[in-house]
Amino acid sequence: MGKHIDTGSMIIIILTFLLFIVALWVKGLTRDLLLEIGVLLISIKIIMMSYKSSKNSEEVMKELKSIKDRLDCKDKG
């Protein structure tokens, strides 16, 4: 997983989680907690989309390498 999550993303994950905990402690279980949960969920969704994009990019690169290898082999033969 560390291969797909860079240092900046990991810092954002930790910072978001810590700020959520602080907000929970400061605000308590009030109506404002729903706003904090929304921010946390949006951050999680963005991180998940980034991970999925990274995986898809990796798959596309493998396919392109496969196509390139076939074309190189065809040119030589």
Tens digits of per-residue pLDDT, 14-48? Answer: 888 888 788 778 777 777 777 777 877 888 788 88
Q: Is the pTM of this model over 0.85?
A: no
Express as a percent the part of the chain with pLDDT over 70. 90
Token couple for 31:
């109506």
Question: Can you tell me the mean pLDDT for 53-76?
Answer: 90
Alpha helices in 1-77 (DSSP H): 7-27, 32-76
Give 31's Cβ-side CA count (13 Å radius).
0
Output the pLDDT for position 61.
96
Distance CA 74, CA 58 (A): 24
> Where in the chain are the domains?
7-76
Contact 4, 54 (CB under 8 A): yes
**Residue 64 pLDDT class (50, 70, 90 cuts):** very high
